[in-house]
Amino acid sequence: METPGLIASRAVAYLALLLLAGVPLFLLTARKEASLPLRAALAILAVTAGLASAWWALESVAAMAGLPLAELDQQTAEVVLAATPLGAVMEWRLTALVAVILATLIPLKVLRLPVLALAGGAALASMAWTGHAGASDMAGHRLADVVHLLAAATWIGALAVFLAQAVAGKAEPATLAAFARTGSVVVALLILTGLVNTLAIAGWPLPFNSRWIALLAIKLALFGLMLGLAAINRWRIVPALERGAPDGAARLRRSLLLESAAGLGVVGVVACLGILDPAA
């Protein structure tokens, strides 16, 4: 049962969890510290992810019961959550989110980011036990989904940091250029695991006349746009910034805004893909 509430709750939860895992992962790869304002933002994201996940769980139970969310009663919600893997997944995710909040308070810098990345990554990984991957019996499907999510999170997290720096007029060309190496690994992992996930979900030959494949094509188009913009940043805009070009900062902001908008589009499409029958 597809409802706007289920799609919206999935999208909000996905975005919050991707940022929650991705920002610490990016900072680790860039060897940067998590400032106090950034740690506060991560704690707020953890709360947002928890609320969105609770909303998602209730929307999922209502969909299973064939009821609008407003008509879902507490007893039905408790019974369904206890009888399906969704309840255990939510417990796992909420525990990891609490760990994220506690990690923002760790005074030792050497432990702070690794614990934040581990807890945020664990919360995000719980997504692989929902949707198509959660229902799959194919060996390696959930592992591929976890790797796909973590790779996507690293890209989204980097984008968020770069965009915040660019808007504040504090872009760091050296950090942008250095991420190109990590970005190449991220793109390779996304392509490989995306292929595995697609075949595990839709099988072969692909059902090209289905809505699922149509949405997948939109996702791939947005991914291609993000990849093209990232290449322009790396090979044209960042060198211009390093040369001190007067319009370099403005060009970077525009490019990062477009890339972020495409990323949001991908998250929205993924929120829909997870509840559609690939053959329908």
Contacts of 244 (CB under 8 A, 6+ apart): none
The residue assigned the tokens 């188009």 is 221
The residue assigned the tokens 């504040």 is 168
Contacts of 170 (CB under 8 A, 6+ apart): none
Tell me whether residue 238 is exposed, middle or buried, using C-beta atoms within 10 angstroms of its C-beta: 0 to 12, 13 to 18, 19 or more. buried
pLDDT-based confidence at residue 131 (cuts at 50, 70, 90): confident
pLDDT of res. 1 = 58
Is the predicted pLDDT of residue 88 greater than 80, yes or no?
yes
Half-sphere exposure of 131 (CA within 13 A, CB side): 27
pLDDT in tens, 20-39: 999 999 999 998 988 999 99
pLDDT of res. 213 = 94
Residue 245 has phi, psi (to 5 degrees) of: -60, 135
pLDDT mean over 146-160: 97
Tell me the pTM. Answer: 0.95
Percent of the chain scoring above 90 in pLDDT: 74
pLDDT-based confidence at residue 139 (cuts at 50, 70, 90): low
Taking the alpha carbons at both ends of the chain, their separation in whole angstroms is: 13
pLDDT-based confidence at residue 18 (cuts at 50, 70, 90): very high
CB 32 within 8 A of CB 163: no
CB 279 within 8 A of CB 225: no
